[in-house]
Amino acid sequence: MVFSVLMVLFSGLWAQYYKGQTVSRNHLAASGLGRKVLEEHLSAGYNACPDGYVETGNITSSTRVRGRDANCVFNYQFESHDRGVDFRSLTVTVTWSDVTGVGPKSLVYDTYVYRTQ
């Protein structure tokens, strides 16, 4: 009886471990994608992203965690908006859904770029 209770307990813990590992991996991938997109536009400079510029895209992550497929689609949207004379905001929003079943998750990265010439 005690052995059965322990086996049920450990199998539940194992499922939670798998779910936690997948959630963590997806959050790390989304963070990397958001930083990459933002850095690409930031390094291009002020004139490369005019006011109102919007870019969207998606990337699919295909991985295996403990023998199970853990595929996830990451959608991103980049936006550029003027905030004053020679002052522009750059924003990247990354959204995805994972195995937790809780609605879509998102990360937002913001920065500003100034005209230097």
**Of 80, 79, 78, the residue nearest 51 (C-alpha):** 80
Across the chain, mean pLDDT equals 84
Backbone angles phi, psi at 79, to 5 degrees: -135, 145
In order of 9, 11, 16, 17, 90, the CA distances from 3 in angstroms are 10, 12, 20, 21, 57
CB atoms within 10 A of CB 60: 8
Give per-residue pLDDT as tens, 4-53: 666 666 666 666 666 777 778 888 999 999 999 999 999 998 888 899 99
pTM for this model (two decimals):
0.78
Give per-residue pLDDT as tens, 76-105: 999 999 988 889 999 999 999 876 666 789
Run of H or E including 29 = helix 2-44
Which amino acid, one-letter code, is at 79?
E
CB atoms within 10 A of CB 30: 23
